[in-house]
């Protein structure tokens, strides 16, 4: 059998992308140490209960915030709408652990917020107004308000490209505004929502920083406790494998549930959007619904960080900062561009070759996102050192491990899930008849991709770049372990201080992360806004 470019490329990428994950899974074939008995008897149940509770809470809250705000922004005109449209993405620039630190700084017994209430109402020291936040509900809020943009972005993109005709038919048949939303609008974009939700879930289960700060024992904190405390990385990897299996199961269930459904528009007829203008109470409500997530997920932490930075440490912004910010920025752009291109190629191959094996393979490419960052980073590192020791160093002095190229490769592997889910959602909305027409005209694969699909995928491509850029800017574990000597990114600076819980010192680099992250967010959202086919609203 002769394989074409559209089969060889995805298979090659599959092998490289899956290798680090396979190295983690490989631990399952090894020995099971006595530590398992200990884990099983004393802590595992607690880890699982907390993790499930966390995932359920975050999923519900994130769906409400993400889909609700996207629907409002796409269909209505209300006060502040033009700002909310892009500002709703801002929390992407805030890593969950930063919001966790902000929360404890504000709401701990002697935190800023409680002290303020005591001062204003002249109450005693024993009086505490705000509930404790170092618990699972607190963590649910932290994750939901930093991660909802994943759902918002894909929902917004899907709503923008949604056929008006069907929604209008719904209204004509007597559905009210709310029914149109949840009976037609939401079900039609279900794959997009679930795609976004998957990312949120994977990021939640694999997070260490925020839950560790709140001292909540989750599956992932358990993995690190086993590794760091019991010096048992094998058992830690076996635990991580269970997380992987959980993620794969989720993905399979999701695929199975929509195996026969098609979500592309019946008619590629795009009417310009007519936005309903809201007045009075609905206007205020819409404003509040959009403002609250931005306030909690972005304004609150940024204000607290600014306060810390201004009071304690400004000398961070020197010439070294420029180098560091530049390092961060170009690494992020490089990884984002590569990731998005690869996602397009793989998704195109699946469609073009309508090969079921490729389809199944591609869904596994994203599972790495569910592994705690450091564990995946170790997989990537082992793969790179293997390459180095077996052939790369034979040909040159060049060593992949600890090179910029190795680092970018690690980012691409880690963030591929972000690109893939966005591009896949984009492809689902391109009617397959477009391809049929192209085939009838004997168009080559390259021409179909470059001249037909890419222009239609512009929104998805930009969204994918945006997601990867904001991910890489925040990325830490792979950066720490794989970077060259004397090479820092902004996240490394934040870590160096945050590791010692010196949050005042970490504030300035954290703000820098947010600032550097804002540039692509603003540019790309402008491009996304004007990308609806056949309309400029």
Partner 1 sequence: MNFITKLITILAVSFVTIASSFASEVNLYTSRHYDSDDALYSKFTDETGINVNVISGKGKALMERLASEGSSSPADVFITVDAGNLWKVQKDGMFQSINSSTIDSIVPENLRGPNNEWVGIAKRSRVMYYNPVNVSAEEMEGLTYEDLSNPKWKGRIAIRSSGNMYNQSLVSSLIANNGISATEDWAHRFVGNFARKPEGNDRAQIMAVANGEADIAIANSYYIGLMLSGKKGEEQQAAARKVELHFPGQDGRGAHINVSGAGLMKNAPNADNAVKFIEFLLSEEAQSHIVNNTYEFPMLESVASSDLIAQFGSGFKEDQTSVASYGEFNPDAVKLMDRVGWQ
Cβ–Cβ < 8 Å for 325, 518: no
Q: Round to whole Å and give the CA distance between 242 and 248.
A: 10
- The correct pick among 40, 127, 274, 330 for binding partner 1 (CB under 8 A) is 330
Q: At what angle do helices 5-26 and 373-387 cross, to 10 degrees?
A: 110
* DSSP string computed for 1-62: -PPPHHHHHHHHHHHHHHHHHHHHHHGGGS---THHHHIIIIIHHHHHHHHHHHHHHHHHHH
Query: Does residue 388 belong to the site contacting partner 1 (CB under 8 A)?
Result: yes
If one asks whether residue 130 binds partner 1 (CB under 8 A), the answer comes out as: no
**397, 440, 441, 442: which one binds partner 1 (CB under 8 A):** 397
Site map (CB under 8 A) of partner 1, residues 56-75, x = contact? --------------------
Q: Does 483 bind partner 1 (CB under 8 A)?
A: yes
Q: Which is nearer to partner 1, 162 or 401 (CB)?
A: 401
| Identified binder of partner 1 from the candidate list 64, 113, 188, 333, rule CB under 8 A | 333
378 lies in the site for partner 1, by CB under 8 A: yes
Task: Assess 118 for contact with partner 1 (CB under 8 A).
Answer: no
Q: Which is nearer to partner 1, 362 or 479 (CB)?
A: 479
Determine if 11 is a binding residue for partner 1 (CB under 8 A): no
How many chain residues touch partner 1 (CB under 8 A)? 64
Strands 276-277 and 76-77: parallel
**Cα–Cα distances in Å, from 403 out to 233, 388, 398, 408, 483?**
25, 11, 9, 9, 6
Residue 105 C-beta: closest distance to partner 1, Å: 11
| Cβ-proximal residues to 38 (8 Å cutoff; 6+ apart), any chain | none
Choose among 108, 187, 104, 183: nearest CA to 142. Answer: 104
What does the alpha-carbon distance between residue 462 and residue 460 come to, in Å, rounded to a whole number?
A: 5
Task: State the CB neighbour count (10 A cutoff) for residue 423.
Answer: 26
The residue among 263 and 312 lying less far from partner 1, judged by its C-beta, is 312
Among 257, 276, 311, 444, binds partner 1 (CB under 8 A): 311
377 binds partner 1 per the rule CB under 8 A: yes
| CB 454, min distance to partner 1, A | 12
Give the range of 2-10, 175-183, 432-440, 500-508 binding partner 1 by CB under 8 A. Answer: 500-508
Reading the block at residue 21, the tokens are 């994950």
Q: What percent helix, strand, coil does the chain show, rounded to 5?
A: 75, 0, 20
| Contacts of partner 1 in 346-375 (CB under 8 A) | 374
Shortest distance, position 79 Cβ to partner 1, whole Å: 38
* Among positions 14, 287, 317, 504, the unique one binding partner 1 when judged by CB under 8 A: 504
Q: How far apart are CA 403 and CA 180, in angstroms?
A: 52
Q: What are the φ/ψ torsions at residue 76 (nearest 5 degrees)?
A: -130, 160
* 396 Cβ contact list (under 8 Å, min separation 6): none
Task: Return the residue matching tokens 């709310």.
Answer: 178
Q: How many Å apart are CA 64 and CA 71, to the nearest integer?
A: 11
Q: Which of 248, 299, 345, 404 binds partner 1 (CB under 8 A)?
A: 404
Contact positions with partner 1 (CB under 8 A) in 215-234: 215, 217, 221, 224-225, 227-233
| Per CB under 8 A, 314 contacts partner 1 | no
Count of Cβ atoms closer than 10 Å to residue 506 Cβ: 27
Residue placing its CB nearer to partner 1 in the complex, 211 or 290: 211
CA 105 – CA 340 distance, rounded (Å): 38
Residue 91 DSSP one-character state = G
Supply the minimum distance, in Å, between the C-beta of residue 58 and partner 1: 21
Tell me which stretch binds partner 1 (CB under 8 A): 53-61, 75-83, 299-307, 376-384: 376-384
Instruction: Provide the residue count of the chain.
Output: 537
The reply on whether position 381 binds partner 1 by CB under 8 A is yes
Contact between 485 and partner 1 by CB under 8 A: the answer reads yes
CB of residue 537 to partner 1, shortest distance in Å = 27
Contacting partner 1 within 134-173 (CB under 8 A): 134
Binder of partner 1 out of 80, 282, 402, 445 (CB under 8 A): 402
How crowded is residue 398: how many other Cβ atoms within 10 Å of its Cβ? 10
Least CB distance to partner 1 at residue 385 (A) = 5
Question: Using CB under 8 A, which residues numbered 22 to 41 contact partner 1?
Answer: 35, 38
Residues 71 to 110 in contact with partner 1, rule: CB under 8 A: 104, 108-110
Which residue has 């056929």 as its token pair? 163
Count Cα neighbours of 9 within 13 Å in the Cβ-side half-sphere.
Answer: 14
446 lines the binding site for partner 1 (CB under 8 A): no
Of 356, 521, 338, 344, whose CA–CA distance to 420 is shortest? 344
CA distance readout (Å), 161 to 28, 34, 178, 258, 267:
44, 55, 20, 20, 12
Task: For residue 174, count other CB atoms closer than 10 A to its CB.
Answer: 7
Does 492 participate in binding partner 1 (rule CB under 8 A)? Answer: yes
Contact between 334 and partner 1 by CB under 8 A: the answer reads yes
Residue 444 makes contact with partner 1 by CB under 8 A: no
Nearest to 534 by CA among 241, 144, 265: 265
State the residues that interact with partner 1 by CB under 8 A. 35, 38, 42-43, 104, 108-110, 125, 134, 212, 214-215, 217, 221, 224-225, 227-233, 311-312, 330, 333-334, 337, 374, 377-378, 381-382, 385, 388-389, 393, 397-399, 401-405, 477, 480-487, 492, 496-497, 499-502, 504
């Amino acid at each position: 059998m002769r394989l074409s470019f559209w089969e060889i490329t995805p298979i090659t990428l599959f092998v490289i992308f899956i290798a680090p994950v396979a190295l983690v899974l490989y631990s399952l074939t090894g020995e099971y140490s006595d530590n398992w008995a200990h884990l099983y008897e004393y802590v595992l149940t607690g880890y699982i209960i907390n993790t499930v509770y966390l995932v359920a809470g975050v999923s519900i809250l994130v769906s409400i915030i993400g889909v609700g705000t996207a629907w409002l922004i796409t269909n209505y005109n209300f006060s502040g709408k033009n700002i909310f449209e892009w500002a709703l993405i801002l929390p992407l620039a805030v890593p969950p652990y930063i919001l966790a630190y902000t929360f404890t700084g504000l709401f701990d017994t002697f935190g800023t917020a409680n002290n303020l209430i005591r001062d204003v109402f002249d109450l005693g020291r024993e009086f505490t107004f705000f509930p404790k936040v170092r618990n699972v509900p607190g963590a649910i809020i932290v994750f939901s308000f930093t991660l909802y943009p994943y759902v918002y972005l894909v929902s917004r993109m899907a709503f923008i490209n949604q056929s008006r005709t069907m929604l209008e038919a719904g209204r004509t048949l007597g559905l009210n505004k709310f029914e149109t939303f949840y009976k037609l609008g939401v079900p039609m974009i279900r794959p997009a929502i679930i795609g976004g939700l998957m990312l949120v879930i994977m990021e939640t289960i694999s997070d260490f920083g925020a839950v560790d700060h709140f001292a909540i024992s989750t599956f992932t904190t358990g993995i690190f406790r086993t590794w760091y405390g019991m010096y048992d990385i094998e058992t830690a990897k076996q635990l991580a494998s269970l997380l992987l299996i959980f993620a794969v199961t989720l993905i399979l269930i999701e695929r199975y549930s929509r195996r026969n459904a098609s979500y592309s528009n019946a008619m590629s007829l795009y009417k310009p959007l007519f936005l309903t203008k809201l007045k009075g109470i609905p206007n205020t409500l819409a404003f509040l619904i959009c403002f609250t997530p931005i306030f909690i997920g972005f304004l609150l932490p940024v204000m607290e960080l600014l306060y810390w930075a201004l009071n304690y440490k400004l000398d961070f912004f020197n010439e070294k900062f420029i180098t560091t910010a530049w390092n961060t920025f170009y690494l992020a752009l490089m990884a984002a561009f590569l990731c998005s291109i690869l996602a397009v190629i793989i998704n195109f191959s699946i469609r073009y070759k309508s090969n079921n094996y490729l389809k199944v393979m591609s869904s596994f490419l994203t599972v790495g996102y569910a592994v705690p960052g450091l564990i995946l980073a170790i997989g990537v590192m082992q793969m790179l050192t293997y390459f180095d020791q077996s052939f790369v160093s034979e040909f040159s002095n060049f060593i992949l491990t600890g090179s910029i190229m190795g680092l970018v490769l690690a980012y691409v592997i880690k963030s591929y899930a972000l690109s893939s889910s966005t591009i896949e959602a984009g492809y689902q909305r391109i009617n397959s008849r477009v391809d049929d027409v192209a085939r009838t005209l004997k168009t080559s694969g390259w021409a179909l991709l470059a001249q037909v699909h890419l222009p239609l995928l512009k929104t998805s491509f930009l969204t994918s770049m945006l997601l990867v850029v904001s991910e890489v800017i925040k990325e830490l574990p792979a950066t720490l372990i794989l970077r060259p000597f004397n090479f820092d990114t902004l996240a490394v600076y934040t870590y160096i201080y945050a590791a010692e819980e010196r949050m005042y010192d970490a504030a300035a680099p954290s703000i820098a992360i947010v600032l550097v992250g804002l540039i692509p967010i603003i540019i790309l959202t402008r491009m996304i806004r004007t990308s609806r086919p056949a309309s400029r609203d």
